[in-house]
Amino acid sequence: MQYPKSLIVVVGPTAVGKTAMAIALANHYRTAIISADSRQFYNEMSIGTAKPTAEELKQANHYFINSHSINDEYSAGDFEREALIKVSELFKSNDHVIVVGGSGLFVRALCEGLDDLPKAPDEVRAQLNESLEKDGLIALQERLRAVDPENYEFMDYDNPQRVVRALEVYEATGHPISYYQKNQKQCREFNIITIGLNTDRAMLYDRINQRVDLMMQQGLLEEVKSLAIHRNKPALLTVGYAELFDYLDGEISMEEAVARIKQNSRRYAKRQITWFKKYGNTTWFEPNQFEKVVEFIDHQVGQ
């Protein structure tokens, strides 16, 4: 069914050029951008999350960037509720709204809704968080891989919050989280057009490596030092932050930390591509194919 309003969702791996495409589309359709990046919500995290620059933020109105503090508990379900309200507001004056992000769970939350997962007892979550702090993320990742190997391939398993949540469900019910993910889409009264950006893998990996070098030049280490008091927050146990905390703890050299950020970013990009190829009706383009993207969107809306 065609609706009069359209949500244009730009997805793809890290560093591929999603921000530039989203801004170009927002300007073309004279509309605003909703960020669906699980770390760019946080005001305190900027360099390591590759937020749009101040100049880029001036080029189009952005929502859900710098919208929360790292001290706030903010879930994909929270984002779903708040983003749907914002989309409804924006549709009052726009026929199109742009969504951009590489966080598959948050994109899915907005476009399809989330499955109603069982709530684990507080003590189960507390035990898992204690294990995370004591034994590290790798130990929990191995537990998750053992209980849910099929779903593990598509998970953002470098995100400790999601690993803990998946294990919570298993520990509380005896079933893996994929058992409860029925993929029953909730009805959205707007069109959803999903644009995937991807490019040659060697070129993408080179862009990732260059981005990490730029982050270091921009002061990522200083940003990480400033967040040391919050280091056990799930958002800071992720790529770009966890490795530098290891450096600050004297566990690895700076050279090794930077190399690990690059490697883990490349691994994350590979999983993003896998997830979005599995997800929904994504149509793929090179990041420089703006005209083709617009032509495709207009054709979809005109059908």
Q: List residues forming the annotated binding site for substrate.
A: 14-19
Q: What phi and psi, each to the nearest 5 degrees, are found at residue 42?
A: -85, 125
Residue owning tokens 């999983």: 271
CA 5 to mean position of chain CA atoms: 24
Q: In what order do the strands lie in the sheet with 33-35?
A: 62-63, 33-35, 96-100, 6-11, 191-197, 282-285
The letter for the amino acid at 146 is A
Question: Where is the binding site, in residues?
Answer: 12-19
User: The tokens of 210 are what?
Assistant: 């260059």
Question: Where is the binding site for ATP, in residues?
Answer: 12-19
Contact 3, 93 (CB under 8 A): no
Q: What phi and psi, each to the nearest 5 degrees, are found at residue 191?
A: -70, 145
